[in-house]
Amino acid sequence: MVYSTVSTTTSMPLPMAKDILLFFSLTILVSIFLLSTHFMIKWSRENKKRRKMNLPPGMSLGLPFLGETLAYLKPHKATSIGHFMDHRIKRYGKIYSSNLFGEPTIVSADAGLNRFVLQNEGRWFECSYPKSIGGILGKWSMLVLVGEMHQEMRMISLNFLSAARLRTSLLPEVERQTKLVLRSWQVESPFSAQEEAKKFTFNLMAKNIMSMDQEEAETEKLRLEYITFMKGVVSAPLNFPGTSYHKALKSRSAILKVIERKMDERLRRSYCKGMEERIEEDDLLGWALRQSNFSKEQILDLLLSLLFAGHETSSMALSLAIFFLEGCPEAVEELREEHLRVARQQEKRGQCHLSWEDYKQMEFTQCVINETLRLGNVVRFLHRKVIKDVQYKGIDIPSGWKILPVLAAVHLDPSLYEDPQQFNPWRWQSRSHLGATTPNFMPYGGGPRLCAGFELAKLEIAVFLHHLVLSYRWELAEPDEAIAYPFVDFRKGLPIKVYNIT
């Protein structure tokens, strides 16, 4: 009874409801018909266009939408390019096409094409990272921005990481943080070297970005939030409760709240002191507040993206160096000799901290860093989109396609590096210069988006290795290996045991 009363008072007459239902059904059918016709026409046009083009070989549809993405991303040893890519290169050559991340894609294992793509950023190609990265790092993140806004953010970051600041502020801070980490190690009891490397780079970035000290409880809270955040960056962008992506978005808000509080405090203090007294902290937050007209939201994303870019990569590079060196005692010995020489010079000067000149003496260390990045490939490939039709050595590269310069494939190419799977730092001694981008070596990317922090990364690893080889011997507490998921990670967190050097 209740049901019939409700139904007669709230619903419309039956024939009218039927008409509306019919209208909606027809609308849906017509829309489906129009959409399919639209896609069929587009598909057949694309196909015609493709048939006329000289596209790289290999285009295979694979699974609907996913294409060959799962096979491409299948975890493999970080010191290899994986079975799928190896097979494709043997079959089609160093430049092949595929269907990845739901889009037609050119995959390049060719050093020349990789350079061409990176150097023509903004002209024929544009940075284009998956949605999960943009969603989590924020729409103002430097890693996803293009054009003028990217340039502005990049300038602030480059100024902040300038050679002058590296010498005066960053070197002493890197050394201080290194000593804090190494002093906390317990000899002869296993611990995760990867965790320690992460702590080191995180605390260093937190200090340089927002003057947050490791001793503050808030810094440790932020670091733990950051671990959840990172899991989301590399997950599928599925935003519902329980997913890594959802949890990471929550962590993003928590991290941003901390940064925002710091920013507000800073602004309040400068108002209290009077407008003529500027924000004096020599950290990135201070720089961004002083030197830019960015909105609060933009500054927050800038800080978060620097924390992301500067923390994960260098901690992984450091972990890989510890891992590769453990398997190469001759390299540790040569490294130790080099650092003993540096330490003796320091002693002669009567100083107990590293100078810029000391750092410049660490030539073999630079060979170790280069070899670690060549073999370990912290950043394996980059995401780019083709924005205008272009040709490269007779190959058509159509606009609208994705293109992935695979840095790892060049670094592990046996025609460019003898015995490429071998950790051999000495191979760099014969190379005339050890720049960030030599033609076949681009661990920091290249062109207008060349890593803004590569000099800091090298400094961090060199200073850490200096104190490590002078303080400890180390060995793996149990076997472990670095895996490309495609982000590089150690299966067991790189468990090591250290022993004092007598």
Q: Which of 427, 410, 422 is nearest to 370 (CA)?
A: 427
Least spacing, CB of residue 307 vs ligand HEM, in Å: 9
Q: Whole-angstrom Cα distance, residue 38 to residue 44?
A: 10
Instruction: Evaluate whether 367 touches 456 at the Cβ level (below 8 Å).
Output: no
One of 444, 464, 474, 490 touching ligand HEM (CB under 6 A): 444
Q: What HEC string does 406-449 produce?
A: EHHHHHCCCCCCCCCCCCCHHHHCCCCCCCCCECCECCCCCHHH
Which residue type is seen at 119? Q
Q: Is 412 in the site for ligand HEM (CB under 6 A)?
A: no
Q: Is 420 in the site for ligand HEM (CB under 6 A)?
A: no
Give the end-to-end CA distance of the chain in Å, rounded to a whole number: 92
One of 99, 313, 365, 370 touching ligand HEM (CB under 6 A): 313
Q: Is 310 in the site for ligand HEM (CB under 6 A)?
A: yes
Per the DSSP assignment, residues forming a β-bridge with 397 are 390
Point out which span in 40-48, 70-78, 168-176, 454-462 binds ligand HEM (CB under 6 A).
454-462
Least spacing, CB of residue 298 vs ligand HEM, in Å: 14
Nearest position to ligand HEM, beta carbon: 453
One of 368, 397, 457, 488 touching ligand HEM (CB under 6 A): 457
One of 314, 319, 370, 471 touching ligand HEM (CB under 6 A): 314
Site string for ligand HEM, 97-136 (x = CB under 6 A): ------------------------------x---------
Site string for ligand HEM, 53-92 (x = CB under 6 A): ----------------------------------------
Q: Which of 126, 125, 123, 142 is nearest to 134 (CA)?
A: 142
Least spacing, CB of residue 46 vs ligand HEM, in Å: 27
- Looking at the Cβ atoms of 270 and 371, the one nearer to ligand HEM is 371
Q: Which of 293, 336, 356 is nearest to 149 (CA)?
A: 293
Instruction: Tell me whether residue 451 is annotated as binding.
Output: yes
One of 206, 256, 382, 410 touching ligand HEM (CB under 6 A): 382
Instruction: Evaluate whether 56 touches 96 at the Cβ level (below 8 Å).
Output: yes
- Looking at the Cβ atoms of 151 and 253, the one nearer to ligand HEM is 151
Whole-Å CA distances, 9 to 2, 3, 6, 16, 366:
11, 10, 5, 15, 82
What are the structure tokens assigned to 6, written together?
Answer: 């409700």
| 3-class state of residue 292 by DSSP | coil
What are the structure tokens assigned to 72, written together?
Answer: 């491409």
Least spacing, CB of residue 226 vs ligand HEM, in Å: 15
Query: What 8-state DSSP symbol labels residue 426?
Result: G
Q: Which of 376, 491, 502, 472 is nearest to 181 (CA)?
A: 472
| 3-class state of residue 391 by DSSP | strand
Q: Is 154 in the site for ligand HEM (CB under 6 A)?
A: yes
- Looking at the Cβ atoms of 256 and 477, the one nearer to ligand HEM is 256
Q: Is 143 in the site for ligand HEM (CB under 6 A)?
A: yes
C-alpha dihedral (457, 461, 464, 470), degrees to nearest 10: -150
Q: Which residue has the tokens 């890989």?
A: 320
Interaction with ligand HEM in 327-346: which residues (CB under 6 A)? none
One of 157, 365, 366, 471 touching ligand HEM (CB under 6 A): 157
Q: What angle do CA 465, 228, 455 make, to 5 degrees?
A: 30
What is the gyration radius of the CA atoms in the chain, in angstroms? 27
Q: Is 376 in the site for ligand HEM (CB under 6 A)?
A: no
Least spacing, CB of residue 172 vs ligand HEM, in Å: 16
Q: Which residue ranges are tagged as binding site for heme?
A: 451
Q: List residues binding ligand HEM (CB under 6 A).
A: 127, 142-143, 154, 157, 306, 309-310, 313-314, 317, 373, 378-379, 382, 443-445, 449, 451-454, 456-457
